Chain A
Amino acid sequence: MSAPAADPNPDPRVARIQEIKALYEEELLAKANVIGVGVGLRRKGGITTDEPVLVVLVSQKMPRVQLAEGDFVPDRIEDVPVDVQEIGFIRSHEDGSPALTSN
């Protein structure tokens, strides 16, 4: 359960995800509903796996048919796997902020 302090052998997949993130970040953030992009772990059926992926953060997941062509997030960008993850409506967390309603 101890987290590695400084990983002497960084996962090469993570470095590649960071590269792709830098290249495509603006394009992804311009899509409707996308509020963030990061390097994360794939989530499958509510469980976090140990597979590093490019994570695209959305406030709410939408069925593909409701999205315009340009707003659709692909499953993969070049050789990097992409996972769309719903994180709700992100608010600054001072008391009284309406952060518990998902917009």
Chain B
Amino acid sequence: MDEHIKIAQVKSQALAGLMRKPNVIGVGTGYKTSAGRKTGELCIVALVTQKIPRAGLDAASMVPKSIDGISTDVLQIGFIRAQQARTDRWRPALGGVSIGHYQVTAGTLGCMVRDRVSGERLILSNNHVLANSNDAKAGDAILQPGTADGGRAPGDVIAKLERFCPIQFSNAPATCGLAQAYADFGNMIARLLGSKHRVKVMFSDPQALNNVDAALARPLEGDDVLDEILEIGAPAGTTAAQLGMAVRKSGRTTGLTTGQIVVLDATLEVNYGTGTARFENQLVSGAMSQPGDSGSLLVAADSLAAVGLLFAGSDQATIFNPIARVLDCLDVSL
């Protein structure tokens, strides 16, 4: 008698069988769509991540055209990610979620970039997120989520450190293994050349300059990371920052936030806890981040063009590397 009740009954009986089919992620009732137009006919709707032509499905995977006299329809709705926190484990992962080197707390997965030479897809974030502020080596495990969010090896390893732009610290003590290795190598050459000069690993050069805090990681499986950034979409190209430009970012701690570029070409000192580093050509916005947002991609508010890479901030301001310098230093493109 009541069509709704009949459909609900058939639906509840067919539910388990439909949900067992690969690709079906939900079942509901709705109006049937025919040739792209909604009809007035109520039917059972199977929700799928992606529609597959009948020819590509075996009989058991196919949603029958009707069930107990009730028509069916298949609706593509993509991946459903409601209720998932940015600090959770994401597979596939995407820009805006927690990530970090196994010795780092956690930062943000910026986005996927492409190696200019090999064309490979690589994960972009900060050196201090993926490369432990220089104290790391290629091949080190990168966890998603980061350790502060419960990420543990080997189950949560999503990538391996590929390469990074070293940070020149102004006053860091000799705690950095990589720098020590460089110095040892340099000193070996100096000895071979008979030079009396030796490099001591105690950076004390206040003029030591940096442009970027950036690193790359190579996903273990390419399918494990999407090109999209959560709540933004896939970035497309780059644009130079302008004074007053409206911008947005999607980060692990504060999610999607918006702001405005208030200072360009900034030369400034950034504290890393273990030392300070001077940066040039930086972008400054009002406060739009908190600890854990490091590595977020800064995108123009009115387009998908990348503008910068978030790496530092305070309760009053957020600091970004200009994206062109990030991509050039790492030899990648967006």
Which residues of A are interface residues toward B (Cβ below 8 A)?
1-7, 14, 18, 21, 25, 29, 35-41, 43, 48, 50, 52, 55, 57, 59, 85-102
Contact = CB atoms under 8 A, between A and B. Distances in A.
Given A36-B266, A38-B268, A95 B302 contact: no
B129 to A, nearest CB: 6
B214 to A, nearest CB: 13
Contacts of B290: 93, 99-100
B215 interface: no
Q: Give the one of A7, A21, A55 with max B CB within 10 A.
A: A55
B111 to A, nearest CB: 17
Contact of A99 (B100, B268, B269, B313): B313
A94 B246 contact: no
Contacts of A40: 243, 262-264, 266, 284
30 contacts: A3-B300, A3-B301, A25-B267, A29-B269, A36-B266, A37-B266, A38-B264, A39-B263, A39-B264, A39-B266, A48-B244, A48-B260, A55-B266, A57-B266, A57-B268, A87-B284, A91-B270, A91-B314, A92-B133, A92-B294, A93-B310, A93-B311, A94-B100, A94-B128, A94-B291, A95-B148, A96-B148, A99-B314, A100-B290, A102-B316
Contacts of B240: 5-6
Given A93-B107, A93-B311, A100 B263 contact: no
B56 interface: no
B312 A93 contact: yes
B315 A94 contact: no
A92 B104 CA distance: 12
Given A37-B268, A87-B314, A92-B213, A3 B242 contact: yes
B315 A102 contact: yes
Contact of B246 (A1, A6, A36, A92): A1
Nearest to A4: B242
B106 interface: yes
B244 A41 contact: yes
B302 A3 contact: yes
Q: Give the one of A2, A18, A39, A91 with max B CB within 10 A.
A: A91
A3 to B, nearest CB: 4
Contact of A94 (B244, B264, B294, B314): B294
B265 interface: yes
Contacts, number: 171
Nearest to A57: B268
Question: Across chains A and B, which 7 residue pairs bring their CB atoms closest together, nearest first?
Answer: A36-B268, A88-B314, A38-B266, A40-B263, A95-B292, A87-B317, A38-B263
Interface in B269-323: 269-273, 282, 284, 289-294, 300-302, 310-319
Nearest to A30: B206
Contacts of B213: 92
A91 B312 contact: yes
A14 B242 CA distance: 11
A93 B291 contact: yes
B243 A36 contact: no
A95 B239 contact: no
Nearest to A100: B315
Contacts of A29: 267, 269
A19 B290 CA distance: 33
Interface in B241-260: 242-246, 252-253, 260
A39 B294 CA distance: 23
A89 to B, nearest CB: 5
Given A38-B263, A40-B284, A90-B312, 20 more contacts: A29-B269, A36-B263, A36-B266, A36-B282, A38-B284, A40-B262, A88-B316, A88-B317, A90-B268, A90-B313, A91-B313, A92-B213, A93-B291, A93-B294, A93-B318, A95-B105, A99-B312, A99-B314, A100-B291, A102-B315
B146 interface: yes
B316 A35 contact: no
Given A48-B244, A99-B291, A100-B290, A94 B129 contact: yes
Contacts of A94: 100, 104-107, 126, 128-129, 291-292, 294
